[in-house]
Structures are given as C-alpha cells and as structure tokens.
Amino acid sequence: MNDRPNISRRQILTAAAAGVAFPTIIPRSAWGANERIVYGHIGVGGMGSSHIVPDACAALCDVDQNHLARAAKRVQGTPLLTDDYRRVLDRKDIDAVTIGTPDHWHALMTVHACQAGKDVYSEKPTCKTIAEGQAMVAAAKRYKRVVQIGAQGRSNPVAAAACRYIRNGQLGKVNRVDIWHPNNYVTGEKWGKEQNPPSHLNWDMWLGPLRWRPYNPEIAHFNFRWLMDSGGGFVRDRGNHALSIVMWCLNADTTGPVTVKATGEQNPNTVYDAPLTMKVTWEFRNPDWTLTWNQPGTPNPRLPGEWGATYQGDKDSLVVLGGDGGCETEQKAKDYTPPAGGFQPFLEPVKTDPTERHRQNWRRCIKTREQPVMNAEIGYRVITLPIIANIAYQVGRKLTWDPMAHRFIGNEEANRFLSEPYRKPWRM
C-alpha cells in the first residue's frame, strides 16, 4: 500500500490559522467508566459531516483540507487530523468509524476497519461490485463487527408504516413494483478542463483504488456519481434507498432476481458515461413478481413526487415516495393497525429524525452486539440489484442471474464485471 503520509507542516500552519487543533492521543480511559463509544470519522464533507459526534471524536479524516478544517471546529479536544484513513484505523482508542467518502471507497474501508477491530457505519451505496459486497459480508462475520449501511429508510417511520401495511397482506399478493425517478445529471455542453488539483485536495488519495485520471473539477466532489467507474448513476445512488424499501416491504432480503434487463441512452453533450436515462426490469421467482426502475418515470397521480414506487397487489395497490430520510405513503397505510400477532417492523424507540434513529440503532447494537437493521449482508443483497442492472446495460442484453451463486448463468462477459481490479498498491 501507499506510505502513510502525515499532514505537512504547511498544512498544519494553514489549519491552525483557521482555528484547527492538531492531534493529541486521547486515552481510552478518558471517556469514563461507562465505556463510552469513541469514534473516528472518515470522510467529513457532505453527508459524512452529519455523522460527527463532537464530544466523542478521536480522529477526523478527509482528503480535502477544507472539509477537515470545518469539521475540526465542531469537535471537542484535539483529535487526530489526517488525510489517510489507515492512521485512524491504527488508533487503539477508537471503537467505531463512520465512512462518508465517495462510493468507490466504501467497501475497501469497511473491510479494513473490520480487520482493525472497528465497528462501522458506512454510507450507501454499499459497494461497487459483487466481489466487494461479498468481502464486506465476510469481514463483518469473521471479525464479529457491527456494520450498518446508511440506507436510513429502514429507520423511517413512514416507510415502516408502508412495510407493515404490505407485509400484513393488505395488498394481497404483490406481483409488481414500479419505481420512477428523474434522469441522471449532466454537465451541459462543456466539460471542465483537466488541471492540477487544488492545493487543499489530495487527489491521489481521493482516487484511491480507482484507475488514474487527471483531476477535473466536474468530478470532485459530488459529480463522481455520473461516472460508471466511481458512481454508477441514480440507479445505484438513490436506487440503494428505493430498492432497500422494496426488498423490506416484500420480505425479500434473502432472495434475488433470476433475470435482469437494462437499457439507457447517453447524453451526447457530456462525458459522464452513466446513461442519462435508464429502464431496468428484474424478474423474481418463487414467489413470482416483477420489479422495474424507470428513469425517467411517471409519478403516480395518487401521490406524486420526484421519486417513488407503486406496489401492485391482486387486492389493492400502494404508493410510497422516497425511501431515505424523507418518505411518504398513502394515508391508509399510516392509519393501519395490524392484528394481534401481525407483522410489526422494528424501529428504535426514540423520537428523532430517521437518519439519527438509524445511527442510534447502530450505536445500540455496538453495545449489545446485535445485528443492526441494515447490516452488511442486507446491504449487499440490496445493492446487488443496481450492480447487475448496470452490468446488463453495459453488455447490452438480458441476463440470467443465479441469486444463490451470485453469478450470471451462461455469460462470462457479464461475469467479468463482478469484480474490478484496484489501482496499485491498493488491495482488499
């Protein structure tokens, strides 16, 4: 692997001028007799910044010094500040880490954190490839780590109401779920110029295991989502949320599709290679049902919204919007009370927003050693759907999938996409 660089003296002085303190070692005993959880936070820009626990933070890591400086102002004490996550994992006083990096880092960091004895809260999407997902599941089991994937819809009371309604048979047998979603983003007609990265960004560490490419401001930070190499489009991004709710509502976490077909169109005015539009169909057997992703799709007029799904059963149908921290469903589901002994989805008994409830579920499980609601195995099963959809799009044909062997049947071209090489010297 790469040598583990320290923050340079120039960076220290720059950060100090911005009011940032640099590292002191925080002893494990300093958190008191209650054995309080001590955190390291990896990736602290964007969503990653929301995971910071200001009074229990021993380390902050980000490859962007601006992110790091802003985050450091929020925490108590003098945590380790670094752009190399391995320095966080080396700390013996850290019990758990949050990972809020770009998608292509999630699996590698999660596996390394499990190997280092840390419990993990990793943002969605779970991983890039099937091989990565399998490695995450294996590492969580082998090292007995509590891993929560940040698909917080499973901690959303409204999504739980929809799940309760469907799982208690109010739609009858569900035979179809249709998701609608807007198109992927584009840059417009002009692609930003490749250039030297800004001085505050460690571009080599931002890329990490990705193949090398020159810095381009149209990639970092947010727009990596529209490249197949680093993102995979909305079907993998918000799709992780929407598909998590579908699999939950249909009690399908231990199953998988048997076929997948995907089509899409590129926008000629952008070099983003995730397709602008995308239509996906997954077919399931025993029980038989069909799942579709429609980008763009038509909102259900009963409950229109930017993105959502219609669940169609042989008795009734239900509309569910969103599936992350924001979610809505029809009033009939919110008003429904299950019968005695009926299915009741689990939610942490706290009155807070879904994202914080999701984190609290993880924190409680760290102490009890239970499995959280969106553990590594469930997270892997869910993200399998968009991963194989993108593969079907890339090979340009309908594919047959073996959900037990986690491979395509009779198509070695497609199977070559199940894992991807890492740029040296990175390895799982």
The pTM for the full model equals 0.91
147-149 and 39-42 as β-strands: parallel, antiparallel, unpaired?
A: unpaired
Question: Residue 218: which pLDDT band, with cuts at 50, 70 and 90?
Answer: confident
- What's the pLDDT score for residue 169? 98
147: CB partners within 8 A, 6+ apart: 110, 114, 119, 120, 121, 122, 136, 140, 372, 375, 376, 379
Half-sphere exposure in the Cβ direction for 170 (13 Å, CA) = 24
- What's the pLDDT score for residue 220? 87
CB 177 within 8 A of CB 247: no
407-408 and 57-61 as β-strands: parallel, antiparallel, unpaired?
A: unpaired
CATH superfamily to which 9-151 belongs: NAD(P)-binding Rossmann-like Domain (3.40.50.720)
Q: Tell whether omega for the bond before 287 is within 30 degrees of 0, i.e. cis.
A: yes
Half-sphere exposure in the Cβ direction for 319 (13 Å, CA) = 16
Where would I find the H helices in 255-353?
331-335
What SS3 class is residue 179? strand
Between the alpha carbon of residue 155 and those of residues 48, 346, 401, the distances in Å are 18, 8, 30
- What's the pLDDT score for residue 428? 86
For the segment 371-391, the average pLDDT, to the nearest whole number, is 98
Q: At what angle do helices 130-142 and 376-395 cross, to 10 degrees?
A: 170
Backbone torsions φ then ψ of 346, nearest 5 degrees? -85, 135
What SS3 class is residue 176? strand
Average per-residue pLDDT for the chain: 91
What SS3 class is residue 259? strand
108: CB partners within 8 A, 6+ apart: 132, 208, 209, 422, 426, 428
- What's the pLDDT score for residue 26? 39
What SS3 class is residue 355? helix
How confident is the model over 398-417, as pLDDT tens digits? 999 999 999 999 999 999 99
Backbone torsions φ then ψ of 6, nearest 5 degrees? -85, 160
**Distance between CA atoms of 34 and 47, rounded to whole angstroms?**
29
Backbone torsions φ then ψ of 386, nearest 5 degrees? -70, -30
CATH topology of domain 154-340+376-418: Dihydrodipicolinate Reductase; domain 2 (3.30.360)
For the segment 262-280, the average pLDDT, to the nearest whole number, is 88
How confident is the model over 103-154, as pLDDT tens digits? 999 999 999 999 999 999 999 999 999 999 999 999 999 999 999 999 999 9
> Quick one: which of 176, 119, 133 has its CA closest to 364?
119
The shares of helix, strand and coil residues in the chain, as percent rounded to the nearest 5, are: 35, 20, 50
**Distance between CA atoms of 13 and 289, rounded to whole angstroms?**
60
In this prediction, what percent of the chain has a pLDDT beyond 90?
85
Q: At what angle do helices 65-72 and 9-17 cross, to 10 degrees?
A: 50
CB 131 within 8 A of CB 107: no
| Dihedral sign (CA 349, 354, 360, 361) | positive
CB 51 within 8 A of CB 68: no
Half-sphere exposure in the Cβ direction for 102 (13 Å, CA) = 25
The 3-class secondary structure across 184-242, one letter per residue, is CCCCCCCCCCCCCCCCCECHHHHHCCCCCCCCCCCCCCHHHHHCCCCCCCCCCCHHHHH
Question: Residue 190: which pLDDT band, with cuts at 50, 70 and 90?
Answer: low
Q: At what angle do helices 238-249 and 376-395 cross, to 10 degrees?
A: 120
Answer whether residue 29 shows pLDDT above 90: no
How confident is the model over 79-100, as pLDDT tens digits? 999 999 999 999 999 999 999 9
- What's the pLDDT score for residue 268? 73
Question: Residue 25: which pLDDT band, with cuts at 50, 70 and 90?
Answer: very low
Helix and strand tally (H, E) in the chain?
12, 15
- What's the pLDDT score for residue 33? 39
Numbered ranges of CATH 3.30.360.10 in the chain: 154-340+376-418
Residue with tokens 């029809």: 330
